[in-house]
Structure 1
C-alpha cells in the first residue's frame, strides 16, 4: 500500500465517525434519536385495534356538513394532542371516508391507510410532551358499522336525516380520532345542514346561524372530558324544549315530532329523575342535561351519549333512569377497557332497581331474589343467560352487552350493599363517582375502593363468586 493509500485508509474511519456524529446530532434533537411510531391499538382485550399509542388527545374540533338527500358528509377534524413518547409516526382510527388533506401543526403531512388505521407521518419527530395539532379534511358517504353482537352503530341514516352513535367503535365512521374509552377529550362540534333541519349534539348549543345559501349551522361545545363513543350528532326534524332543573341546570330535549305525544309524560319527569339521582349518586358531573328521542327503528338501542342520552322512540321511565344514571357511571367515570363494561351497565341497571324501590316497586333485594330463583323473566333462557359468564370477564366482544354485564353486575352491587349496610353503601357509590370524576377506572380500581371504604368487611366471596366466578354462585 502506498503512503497516499495509507493516508486515505487512515482517514476513512475518521470520516465515518464524523458522518455518524452528524447524523446522531441531527436526529437527537427533541424526539429524534429515539422516536418510534405510536401503537396501532392500545391492547384492549376485546377490540385490540381500537385506540392508538403514543399520544393523548385533549380536544377535538369537528366541523361537519351533511346533505341528507345525497348522504354526503364533508368534515374537518382538528385534533389537539400531546405526545406521550417521542413519536416518528402515529395512528388515528378512521374508517371509510376519503382523506382530502392532512397537516400536523400546519405542515403538510403524508399518510397511509390500512383498515381502520390512518397512519400519520409528521414532517419531523414529535418529542415526548409536545402539544401538536393534526388537521384532517375528509369527505364521502359515512359507513354504518355492524358490531360483533350484530347491532349497528357509526353513521345511521334516518327518515329525515342521520344519527351518529359510537359504542363501542362507531365514532371512527364519522371522525378520525383515538377511538378508545381510555382517551377522553373536550369537544367542539359544528354541524351545517339544510335549512329546516336541526342538528343536536353533546354539551351546550353555542350558536345557531342560517346563511344565505339556505343552510343552518349549529355549534355545540362539551367542556368536560368525553370518550369518543359518547359523542353524538342527530340530524333531522325535532321539537326542541329548553328548561332548567330546580337548581338551574339547563335541560335541552330534542324529540322527533312523531314521538312527541308518546314522550311527553315520561320526559316531563326528567328533572325529577335528575334530582333523585343527584341525591343518590352525588353532584351531577356535567353542565347540562337532556335527551334526544328519534323515531322507533332509527336505532336498535338507547345510548348514554354524554349529557344528552339517545332513545329510539319514547322511553319508559326505567330506561330514562338507566341512561341518566350512566352520566355518573360510564360517562364521567369511564371504563379503562371494554372488559370493565359492567362498571357502566351494572351501575345503571342497579339505578333502575333503586328507583323502583323508592317509588313503590319491588325492593332491590326482591329483584335480586327473583333473578337468582330464575323467575324474573318469562322466558327460561333469559333467566339462565344471567349465569353465562362473570360480569367482570365477558367471553368475547360479542357479549360485552349481554345480561351478565347488566343484571349480574347489579347483583354484585346488591351483595355489597347487604354486606356494608345502606349508609356505607351510598358513601361508596357516591365516593366512587367523585374519586374518578371525569376519569377512567378498572374493575380492580373498584374492588380496591370498596375494600378501602369498608375496612374490616370481607368481600372475598363476592369477588370470587359473583364478580369473577363462572356459573351460578352458591345460594346467598
Structure 2
C-alpha cells in the first residue's frame, strides 16, 4: 500500500510536536481509486481537476514521447499525498511551484507527496515532466497505445490516458484541455476540439489543440501521422475537421464517403438531441489494425476496418450520437454504460428509419425475436452489466430495446421531449441510470420503475405479455430482418477494450 502521512519536523522533539496544529492530524493520502466498483483503481480521490495543459514532443520513428503536463485542480480533502494514473517515466513533479517527491505504486499509480500538506479546498497546480516509449508500457496485461506505420494513436475505452499523460482517469473528473504537440515536419498531430495555431521551427511543427468544454479522460485522443485533413462547416454552423491516413489503401474511398457526412449527420442528430454541444465535430481514420471506433470527444476515432465492406454511415451516426449521450453527459460510474450505448444504438435505429431501411419498432421486434429465452443475451443486465459484460452486445441491443420500450410506454411526444431534454439538462456533467429514470418520470408524468427494472435489470427475457404491453412483440411470427440490420450489426465491435 502507498498510503503514508507526512508529519513535519523531528517527531522525537516534544516541543516541535506541540507546535504542530491539531488539524495536521486530518491530513491523509488521497484514495488510489475514485470509488468505481467496476474499476477500483481507476481515478483517484482527494482532488478535482479543472484543466490539463499538455505540451508534448513525439518522434514517430522511435515512438519516443516527451512531455510536460500542467494540471490545475482543487483539493477535496486535507491531503498529505495524492495519486495520478500514469505509466511513463517521470523525471520531476512540482506542486504549487515546489518540488514534490514521487513514487510508483501498483500497476499504474504515480504517488505524489507535496513538500507541504495541502488543505482542503486549495487550488493546486501540478507540473509533471516525463518521457518514455508508450508502446513498451503495459498494465493489467494490455496496452492501448496503437502504433501505425507513420505514427501512433491513443484512443481506447475505458482507459487510454495512462500512456500519454498523467491524469485522474475516470469520467467523474472531467476537465478542459490544451494539447500542444511537436512532431517532425511533414507529420501532423490530431487531437480534440479546435486547432488554435501551428508553428514550425528547426524541422519540427507544433500543433496546438483546445477542447474548451469538460471532457472525460478516456475521450481525450492523440493521433500522429501523415494525414489528409479536410475542413468544412455543417449547414447548422458546426465546424468539421476530418483526417485520413494517406495509406488507407482500398478502404480510403469508403472511409471518406462515410466520415465526410459528419456535418450532415450532426445536423440531423441535433433534431433529436438538441443543439450540438461542442465547438467542432469530425473524425479521423488512421492506418491501424484495430477493429473498433470510439467517440473521442469532437474527433471520433474510426478503424479502417469499419469501412472494409464499403461506406458505413451507421457507425458514424453511432459515434456522433455519443457526443450528446456519453460525452457531453458522461456516466457517473461505469455501470451506467447503458446511457451511452443504448442511446447510441437507438440513434442507429432512428437512422435506419430515416433511410427507409427498417423502423425502430421493426428493429426492436427483430432483436426481441432473435434471442430465445434461454439465450445468454438476456442474462446481461444493461442497467448494471458488470465490468466483464460492460461492452456485451446486450448492452447495445437490449439497451436499445429498453429505449423503444420507454418510447412505447410514454408516447412519442414525451419520449422525444426526454430524448432532447436530457442532454441539455445534464450538459457537460455526469449522470446515472437512476438519474435518467427520474428525469423520464418527471417529463412523462408516469411511474417507470417496473419498465426500467424489466428491461434493464432483470437477467431474463421479458415475458410475452410484458413484451406485448411495450409493443415489442406483436405477433407470433418471426419478424423479417430489416434491411439496415447488416450495417448495424457491422458496428457490433464498435468499441475496443484495452484487454483485447
- TM-score for both structures, normalised by structure 2: 0.85
1:157 to 126, 147, 153: 147
Aligned to 1:270: 262
3-state SS in 2 of match to 1:401: coil
Aligned to 2:212: 223
Q: Does structure 1 residue 294 correspond to structure 2 residue 286?
A: yes
1:320 to 274, 299, 316: 316
* Alpha carbons 1:144, 1:155 under 8 Å: kept: no
2:295 to 298, 304, 308: 304
3-state SS in 2 of match to 1:48: coil
Mapped partners of 1:49, 1:294: distance in 2: 30
Mapped partners of 1:300, 1:60: distance in 2: 29
Q: Does structure 1 residue 193 correspond to structure 2 residue 183?
A: yes
Deviation track 1:231-263 (CA, whole Å, cap 9, x = no partner) reads 000111111101101132211010112243222
Q: Does structure 1 residue 22 correspond to structure 2 residue 19?
A: yes
* Alpha carbons 1:154, 1:174 under 8 Å: kept: no
Q: Does structure 1 residue 449 correspond to structure 2 residue 439?
A: yes
> How big is the shift at 1:34?
1.5
- Shift >6 Å, 4+ stretches: 144-148
3-state SS in 1 of match to 2:125: strand
Gap change, CA 1:75 and 1:385, over 3 Å in 2? farther
Gap change, CA 1:447 and 1:81, over 3 Å in 2? same
Mapped partners of 1:159, 1:126: distance in 2: 45
Q: Which runs of 5+ in 1 are unaligned?
A: 1-15
5 Å matches for 1:345-356? 345-356=341-352
Mapped partners of 1:147, 1:75: distance in 2: 20
Aligned to 1:394: 385
5 Å matches for 1:414-453? 414-453=404-443
Deviation track 1:11-62 (CA, whole Å, cap 9, x = no partner) reads xxxxx996654222xx64xxx3411111000121211000000100000011
Deviation track 1:261-320 (CA, whole Å, cap 9, x = no partner) reads 2223223322221111001100111010011112251x2310000001010114611000
Gap change, CA 1:132 and 1:341, over 3 Å in 2? same
1:237 to 226, 237, 245: 226
3-state SS in 2 of match to 1:341: helix
Aligned to 2:454: 465
5 Å matches for 1:73-92? 73-92=65-84
Aligned to 2:478: none
1:363 to 341, 353, 359: 359
* Alpha carbons 1:147, 1:398 under 8 Å: kept: no
Mapped partners of 1:325, 1:52: distance in 2: 29
Mapped partners of 1:199, 1:136: distance in 2: 21
5 Å matches for 1:249-260? 249-257=238-246, 258=248, 259-260=251-252
Aligned to 1:335: 331
Aligned to 2:4: none
Deviation track 1:339-376 (CA, whole Å, cap 9, x = no partner) reads 1111101110000001111221211111111111117x
Mapped partners of 1:442, 1:460: distance in 2: 15
3-state SS in 1 of match to 2:210: strand
* Alpha carbons 1:392, 1:468 under 8 Å: kept: yes
> How big is the shift at 1:166?
3.5
> How big is the shift at 1:154?
2.6
Mapped partners of 1:264, 1:229: distance in 2: 25
Gap change, CA 1:36 and 1:448, over 3 Å in 2? same
3-state SS in 1 of match to 2:189: strand
Aligned to 1:5: none
CA RMSD, Structure 1 to Structure 2 (Å): 2.0
Mapped partners of 2:362, 2:226: distance in 1: 42
Q: Which runs of 5+ in 2 are unaligned?
A: 1-12, 468-500
User: How many aligned residue pairs are there?
Assistant: 444
Mapped partners of 1:51, 1:269: distance in 2: 35
5 Å matches for 1:103-122? 103-114=94-105, 115-122=107-114
> How big is the shift at 1:76?
0.9
Aligned to 1:9: none
> How big is the shift at 1:462?
1.4
Q: Does structure 1 residue 139 correspond to structure 2 residue 153?
A: no
> How big is the shift at 1:146?
7.6
